[in-house]
Amino acid sequence: MKDSQLQIRISGQQKESIKRAAAAAGMDISSWVLDRCLNQNRTKFHEIIKRLERSLTPTFELAELNYFLDNLPAREFHSQLQSLPTVKLDAELANRIAAMIEYAAEKKQAIAPEWTVKIKPLAAPVFDTDLKSLKTYLLLNSPTAFKRRNIFLDSSIGDQV
């Protein structure tokens, strides 16, 4: 709930600059300034990643990350995900997170953050099933962002990865 007001003094030139930047981002001035100052989405992203670090079975946290990425506006994608919090993740989880972000960036025609490239792909393939009959299907149909990281999964139902 917004129950307070903040007023600042700036020059006319600064105001016009802010107006242009907000318009370029597709936002009103208040939303643009708050986004730059508070970084609410960046905080939410960091919270999800920290919960993933602590989770023994991260299914729900990965679903939450997927929902977060789906709802993050393309214009905010790179700026809000530009840093990964300091966490210790195993190689598979780090690759899943990186692949999810790269996949979402591709869908939104946004730029994935540079830190995703620094995560080395898995040495051995990981399949989200033990059924041999499905492995060929997953090899052919997994999203490219996941294939590059040696992770093979089905994203055909609701694009959940």
Give the model confidence (pLDDT) of 99-110 as tens digits: 999 999 999 999
**Is residue 1 a part of any domain in this protein?**
no
Q: Where are the alpha helices (DSSP H) in 39-156?
A: 40-54, 59-71, 74-80, 91-108, 132-141, 144-147
**Is residue 63 a part of any domain in this protein?**
yes
In the chain, % of residues over pLDDT 90: 63
**Is residue 148 a part of any domain in this protein?**
yes
Domain with 40, as residue range(s), is 12-152
**Is residue 110 a part of any domain in this protein?**
yes
pLDDT in tens, 38-85: 667 778 999 999 999 999 999 999 999 999 999 998 888 888 898 888
**Is residue 2 a part of any domain in this protein?**
no
Give the per-residue pLDDT at 160.
55
Contacts of 118 (CB under 8 A, 6+ apart): none
Higher per-residue pLDDT: 1 or 125:
125
Higher per-residue pLDDT: 35 or 81:
81
**Is residue 159 a part of any domain in this protein?**
no
pTM attached to this predicted model: 0.75
**Is residue 161 a part of any domain in this protein?**
no
**Is residue 75 a part of any domain in this protein?**
yes
Distance CA 55, CA 88 (A): 12
Number of domains within the chain: 1
